[in-house]
Structure 1
Amino acid sequence: MTRTSSAPTRPLVYITGASSGIGQALALRYYQAGYTLALVARRTQLMQEWALEQQLEPQRYALYAADIAVIDSACAAGRRCLEQQGLPDIVIANAGISWGVDTALREDLEVMQQVLAVNTTGMAASFQPFIAPMLERGSGSLVGIASVAGIRGLPGHGAYCASKSAAIAYCESLRGELQTSGVQVITLLPGYVDTPLTQNNPYAMPFLLSPQVFAARAFKAIERKTSYSTIPWQMGLVAKIMRFLPNTIWDKLLVGKSRKPRYLQSNK
């Protein structure tokens, strides 16, 4: 599968959730490194405005509209990339939402379903169009953006923590399936990053990073083909402690802690 441009071939990176936050910062970091961009989001107008603000060369990016929560939409965006730009060197499944839920309330179950659809199934659907062509080529990197929140459950965060825990396990399973193929599966676990997903959190966020700093560190981890990396490293230490704390201690630490506000309550 060849790219349509007659210019010298640049490496191609495909990034979902590219209209804001981490996705946008990753797009700029990869552009600065010489990559051509395939950018995916529901809000293509925001991506276009950002590309014009950054003065990106028109021949070095393409925009694809997709709702990652809808499997057919996510897969179709990948197929359009293959047709228009060719097979990416790197696919970054970054699209994600962080909505608080209270599963004592029936109406919050649809919220939880949507979070899982974007953060977990959407990741698999973002990878799906590229797996067979990458296997045929014998190279490529599939990068799943998970979260430290996937390590332990947090109050009000049942949907988000469950989705990111599932994303971590999914990437690990896929890595095992592809380990002798030449295709790398990389799982990145951000700690707190200053994005629209976190700006309304009513609790302390230690080791908070800007999206630009996170993108720079993520770029290095992906270049090293590190299979599993927590960013920043300090949150990696916290994650290890969280993972091995007995439930009795973990539960005591959560007593009196602020919970993630319900999405439906804050969006009435």
Structure 2
Amino acid sequence: MAQARPLVFITGASSGIGQALAAQYLRAGWRLALVARREPAMKSWAEALGVSADSYSIYSADVSQPDSIIAAGHDCIARQGLPDVVIANAGISIGMDTAERADIDVMARILATNNLGLAATFHPFVAAMRRRGSGRLVGIGSVAGIRGLPGHGAYCASKAAVISYCESLRGELRGSGVRVVTICPGYVDTPLTRQNRYAMPFLLPAEVFAARAIKAIEAGASYRVIPWQMGIVARLLRALPNAWFDRLLQGRPRKHRQDAGV
């Protein structure tokens, strides 16, 4: 009996990095479990590429609602089998001002999506992968999680939490055969970043980022910044004394807030 093609489970698969990762895995002959709230967008994308029906399944879920994404994970196991790779990619990025009451709710939504959603994405697969003795759990962090940026507090905090959470989970699963991989993108050309009003050094096309990320995932890297140049920049920024770092970022344009795009 022929062995089934490997399966990857990707959240946030309807656009940006998630869609680019799906395209790369598809070209490599993998089956896809595509997860997002916008089911029609995923279906249109797959049909436009002429993806065969046996190569993918779509799961409509909201990662900010734990029961929703957990149900999607169990549904995937029932319909397609236990994935070889699970990529918790879904995330949102909105600027915030702590002086604005509405932005406290924005922060709660960001943390629910970027952090609770990541843990809930992994939840259905951890025990089954441990029993099997293999698998990759991939958390998409960000260089923004390495040092806080003005006006970007919620997003930076959420991505710092992704990095720490994945590090904790990696230690818990050590020796089980299940690898936890943290990928920290720098700037990637997606609908999310096109709204930014500040310089984005070393900006990568989404497909280039995806190809490099998949190489790191297959290698079982514990932590990888893509592109590598941003890894150097991040380490240098981390090493700066606070007074120098604060002065360097003084006056930097801030991320758009949800309220009237300011």
**TM-score, with normalisation over the residues of structure 2?**
0.98
Secondary structure of 2:193 counterpart: coil
Aligned to 2:223: 228
Amino acid aligned to 1:174? L
CA deviation string 1:66-118 (max 9, x = no partner):
00011111111101001101100000000011111111111111100001111
Give the 5 Å matches for 1:112-123. 112-123=107-118
Question: Does residue 41 of structure 2 align to residue 75 of structure 1?
Answer: no
Aligned to 2:106: 111
Gaps of 5+ in 1: 1-5
Gaps of 5+ in 2: none
CA deviation string 1:181-232 (max 9, x = no partner):
1100000000000111111101000000111000010011111111100000
CA shift in 2, pair 1:7/1:18, >3 Å: farther
Match of 1:10 among 5, 8, 14: 5
Match of 2:48 among 45, 49, 53: 53
Aligned to 1:244: 239
Aligned to 2:35: 40
Amino acid aligned to 1:138? G
Question: Does residue 188 of structure 2 align to residue 201 of structure 1?
Answer: no
Counterparts of 1:263 and 1:229 in 2: how far apart (Å)?
A: 30
Match of 1:98 among 83, 93, 96: 93
Counterparts of 1:216 and 1:261 in 2: how far apart (Å)?
A: 29
Question: Does residue 122 of structure 2 align to residue 127 of structure 1?
Answer: yes
Amino acid aligned to 1:69? S
Give the 5 Å matches for 1:119-268. 119-266=114-261
Aligned to 1:3: none
Aligned-residue offset at 1:7: 6.7
Following superposition, which runs of at least 4 residues in structure 1 exceed 6 angstroms of deviation?
none
Counterparts of 2:227 and 2:75 in 1: how far apart (Å)?
A: 34
Amino acid aligned to 1:100? G
Counterparts of 1:170 and 1:264 in 2: how far apart (Å)?
A: 30
Counterparts of 1:10 and 1:261 in 2: how far apart (Å)?
A: 42
CA deviation string 1:115-160 (max 9, x = no partner):
1111111100000000000010010000000000000111110110
Amino acid aligned to 1:28? A
Aligned-residue offset at 1:57: 1.1
**TM-score, with normalisation over the residues of structure 1?**
0.96
- Say what the alpha-carbon RMSD is for the aligned residues: 1.1
Counterparts of 1:53 and 1:246 in 2: how far apart (Å)?
A: 50
Counterparts of 1:28 and 1:259 in 2: how far apart (Å)?
A: 32
Aligned-residue offset at 1:8: 4.3
Aligned length: 262
